[in-house]
Structure 1
Amino acid sequence: MRKILLSAVLLTSLFASCKKEDAPVTEDPIPKDRVFFTLDGGSMRNYTMLQLDDKQRVDYYIIADLDKNYYFRQDPIFDADGRMTGMNTNSEADPSALLKTATFAYNSNNKLIIINHISPTTWNRLSYDSLAYNGEGKLSAIYHSKPNNDVTPQFAFYSKETMVWDSKSNIIARHILPFSGDTEGKDTISTAAYTYDDAINFMIKPADLFVMDLNNGITWLSANNPLTQVTRYPSGDSVVTISNLYTYDKGNYPDSVFRTRKATQGGAEVYNNTNKFAIKYKILDK
Structure 2
Amino acid sequence: MYKILYSIFYAISLLPYRVLYGFSDFLYLILYKVVGYRKKVVRKNLASSFPEKDEKELRRIEKGFYHWLCDYFVETVKLLSVSDETLLRHIEFRNAEELESYFDKGQTCAAILGHYCNWELLSATGLSFGRHREAVCGLIYHPLRNAMFDHLFRDIRHSKGGVCVPKNEILRYLVKYRREKRMWLFGYISDQSPKWNNIHLWLPFLNHDTPVFTGGERIMRKMNDAVFYVDMERPSRGRYICTFRLVTDKPAELPDNEITIRFFKMLEQTIRRDPRFYLWSHDRWKRTHEEFDRRFKVDSGHVTCKADDTTSSAGMK
What TM-score do you get using the length of structure 1 for normalisation?
0.24
Higher strand share: 1
Higher helix share: 2
What TM-score do you get using the length of structure 2 for normalisation?
0.22
